[in-house]
Chains A and B, each alone.
Chain A
């Protein structure tokens, strides 16, 4: 049997059991350096999976580290935002230079998202932790279901652009390297897009998830932006939306370098390895891994929030 068949089951179990076992063994008795090393190892794996699965690191990081490591959720959410921000910032220059990311598309949406992400961060830090943990659990399970069922469209049909999108200049041309064509694109349902980005920003700030999991479906499926432009523009949007929310956490003191730096290094290194494996690993297998991870992490967050497994 091919080893990749076991990956969807083995990886979530390994991620779940290793730190949980150490924690169960009495966390304060564990030397401090075990935790950054453990974080580095886990986030390295998450970095690989996140790249292969096409999701931002934050959506996996917060429920997994929040559920299975001893750090308080306040610090984990702050770290999740900085993690997503780091990934977006490092990918940003390449995406902008490629001509695929559109500033005209991103800037108006980023403004709405960054305002609501601040509100989300404030709300998230004000609410009782069990409420945030339980809501996070439901949200992660919902995202897993969405990822399992959603279909993306390479070039959505936009018969008539809406007036707001046209007024904001949300259109362009990109060069499709695979077909060697120049493709015209434009948007529709822009008011709905703004409303959805307000919600995405709020959730990104509240749960520290970043927003990559939601940016692409909204741009692609709702607003009719071609998939490549959506993915590239999403990176730029993340860098703005997560910056504003991250500042709320940093200014409140929810910044623990011992949690943040090993995680950023682990995800960055993992992402580089993941980038090399993209051509060799089956997309269906990776989708199963990501969804399995989210099911384990979402269930753990839910159980922790409801006091069933604390």
Chain B
């Protein structure tokens, strides 16, 4: 069951990643940072890169999906959330089996992953 959900989620994530990348590269949607300007910034530390380009942090990219370079974040977000979904899928099995230790491990892992994904930990510079 975990494997099936992992398989489906991963495939969706990869397709999103590749399709949005080609939309970006072939200029089908205008980017936030012009492709020819990228080499001027990508050698900078991430804090300077954000200050110079106005690139988003956290989930601010969701509000700017009209920019081609931020469309790529969709695929990355899917790949980053696949594991959370898979854990939530197997959690009921441990609950039904009354396996309290693994229920606790499963819940703790979901909370850790969600805390990281929702920028509740690791924020700041």
Interface size on B, residues (CB 8 A): 59
* Stretch with Cβ within 8 A of B (4 or more), from A41-49, A176-184, A257-265: A257-265
Nearest CB on B from A73, distance (A): 8
Q: Is there a chain A Cβ closer than 8 Å to B95's Cβ?
A: no
Tell me the bound Cα distance from A240 to B116 in angstroms.
12
- Tell whether, in the assembled complex, residue B6 and residue A71 are in contact, meaning their CB atoms are under 8 Å apart: no
Chain A, 138-175, contact with B by CB distance < 8 Å: what is the 0/1 string? 00000000000000000000000000000110000000
Q: A72-B45, A118-B121, A168-B101 are in contact. Are A239 and B39 (CB under 8 A)?
A: no
Contacts of A115 on B, CB cut-off 8 Å? 112
Residue in chain B with minimal CB distance to A262: B21
Q: Is there a chain B Cβ closer than 8 Å to A199's Cβ?
A: no
- Tell whether, in the assembled complex, residue B105 and residue A75 are in contact, meaning their CB atoms are under 8 Å apart: no
Residue in chain B with minimal CB distance to A27: B39
Cβ-defined partner of B42 (8 Å) among A30, A118, A126, A258: A258
B39-79 contacts to A (CB < 8 Å)? 39-40, 42-46, 49-50, 55-59, 69, 72-73, 76-77, 79
- Tell whether, in the assembled complex, residue A125 and residue B14 are in contact, meaning their CB atoms are under 8 Å apart: no
- Tell whether, in the assembled complex, residue B42 and residue A255 are in contact, meaning their CB atoms are under 8 Å apart: no
- Tell whether, in the assembled complex, residue A111 and residue B39 are in contact, meaning their CB atoms are under 8 Å apart: no
Cβ-defined partner of A93 (8 Å) among B4, B18, B35, B108: B4
A111-139 contacts to B (CB < 8 Å)? 111, 114-115, 118, 121-122, 125-126, 129
- Tell whether, in the assembled complex, residue B39 and residue A70 are in contact, meaning their CB atoms are under 8 Å apart: yes
Contacts of B109 on A, CB cut-off 8 Å? 107, 110-111, 114, 240
Contacts of B108 on A, CB cut-off 8 Å? 111
Q: Is there a chain B Cβ closer than 8 Å to A234's Cβ?
A: no
- Tell whether, in the assembled complex, residue A114 and residue B76 are in contact, meaning their CB atoms are under 8 Å apart: no
Nearest CB on B from A295, distance (A): 25
Q: Is there a chain A Cβ closer than 8 Å to B90's Cβ?
A: yes
Contacts of A28 on B, CB cut-off 8 Å? 39-40
| Known A93-B3, A248-B116; further 9 A-B contacts with Cβ < 8 A | A72-B42, A72-B45, A111-B105, A114-B112, A240-B109, A243-B80, A243-B116, A256-B42, A258-B42
Interface pairs A-B: 5 shortest CB-CB: A257-B72, A248-B122, A93-B7, A96-B3, A247-B116
Q: What are 26 A-to-B residue pairs whose CB atoms are below 8 Å?
A: A27-B39, A32-B35, A72-B44, A75-B42, A86-B14, A89-B6, A89-B9, A89-B10, A92-B3, A92-B7, A96-B3, A107-B102, A114-B112, A114-B113, A118-B116, A118-B122, A243-B80, A247-B113, A250-B80, A251-B122, A257-B20, A257-B24, A258-B42, A258-B69, A259-B42, A260-B72
